[in-house]
Amino acid sequence: MTIMVGLEQKLKIAGHKLTPARLAVVEVLETQHDHLNHNQILDEGRKLYPKLSRATVYRTMDLLVELQLVRPLYLNDPTQRFVSAAGGHHHLVCCKCGETVEFEHCTADPLAQELAEKYGFQIFNHLLEFQGLCIKCH
């Protein structure tokens, strides 16, 4: 999640303690790829800080979600995964084999504007996910 820079700063500014456990989690998010789930964050985090506990991973991710630095996402298995909360997230998912392609070009922003006005929402980001069959599966 290399887009996720300065998580440490942001935690501090928000008045939270910079404990080794949190720093390990944050380090993982900043250096590893996107879409990690709690277990993967735990495993990677323990390489940096072996005492790291599962509960702390869950708690730290809750905190980061609350601060809107990160957001949860489900792909093709029943675990919650995390991506940067900045900007949109765009997937093409194959219903059969689960292959996932990410794409960049997206037309959601004008719509976001419109919806924000219509419903009084303040919109930060979005997920646009297309389901279908990949080239190998049809």
Partner DNA sequence: CTATAATTGAGATATAATCTCATTATGGGC
Partner DNA sequence: GCCCATAATGAGATTATATCTCAATTATAG
In the complex, the residues that contact a second copy under the rule CB under 8 A are: 65-66, 68, 71, 74, 78, 80, 85, 92, 94-95, 101, 103, 105-108, 110-112, 114-116, 118-135, 138
Q: Phi/psi of residue 125, each to 5°?
A: -160, 180
Whether 71 contacts 85, CB under 8 Å: yes
SS3 at position 38: helix
Cβ neighbors of 46 (< 8 A, separation 6 or more) are: 24, 52
By CB under 7 A, the count of residues binding DNA is 25
Q: How far is the CB of 61 from DNA (least distance, A)?
A: 9
- Provide, rounded to whole angstroms, the least separation between the CB of residue 134 and Zn ion: 3
Q: Which residues would be at the binding site for DNA (CB under 7 A)? A: 12, 16-22, 37-39, 49, 51-56, 58-60, 77-80
